[in-house]
Amino acid sequence: MFAKATFAALLSVMAVPAMAAQCEVTIEGNDAMQFNTKEIVIDKSCEDFTINLVHTGKLPKAAMGHNVVITKAADKQAVANDATSAGPANDYLKPNDDRVLAHTKMIGGGEKDSVTFKTAAFEAGGDYDFFCSFPGHWAIMSGKVVVK
């Protein structure tokens, strides 16, 4: 039988440390018009969240540019529809669009970009999507944003 002090010491060694929240994610986009993930998980315990976008392909931005745009799911189609008229000078996003909650810039093969944003604007359990706003990409290059 263990003495109380020995038993308490044994329990403290066996204790599992608390897991820190993951406050950033890296997403890869490629020349096959694909993201490497279909889900971004945002933990509300993170005050700020960072998305790192890496274009693993070789094609230039004008031919196969990618960005990451987060909107409410209900706004995704309308924001994507506005992309073409917004044009490449605006990273295929309507300037000052309040429906866009966060976005990276448009990048080409071999390039990287990041965006850091406050999580306060997101509701746990809310319905959010992420997608690439390059014309024609949003239907394939998209996924869910899960807020916990």
pLDDT of res. 16: 45
- Give the CATH number for residue 126: 2.60.40.420
Domain assignment present for residue 7? The answer is no
Domain assignment present for residue 13? The answer is no
Domain assignment present for residue 132? The answer is yes
Residue 33: domain span: 21-147
Give the chain's radius of gyration (CA, Å): 20
The answer to whether 109 touches 62, Cβ cutoff 8 Å, is no
Phi, psi angles (nearest 5°) of residue 24: -155, 160
Query: Among residues of the chain, what percentage have pLDDT more than 90?
Result: 86
Residue 72 neighbours by CB under 8 Å, 6+ apart? 99, 101, 126, 127, 128, 129
Whole-Å CA distances, 21 to 18, 45, 47, 58, 137:
9, 7, 10, 33, 31
Note the pTM of the prediction, 2 decimals.
0.86
Domain assignment present for residue 8? The answer is no
Domain assignment present for residue 56? The answer is yes
Looking at the predicted structure, is the pLDDT value of residue 1 above 90? no
pLDDT digits (tens, 9 = 90+) for 26-79: 999 999 999 999 999 999 999 999 999 999 999 999 999 999 999 999 999 999
Domain assignment present for residue 142? The answer is yes
Give the total number of structural domains in the chain: 1
Domain assignment present for residue 15? The answer is no
Q: Which two tokens stand for residue 106?
A: 């448009």
Domain assignment present for residue 121? The answer is yes
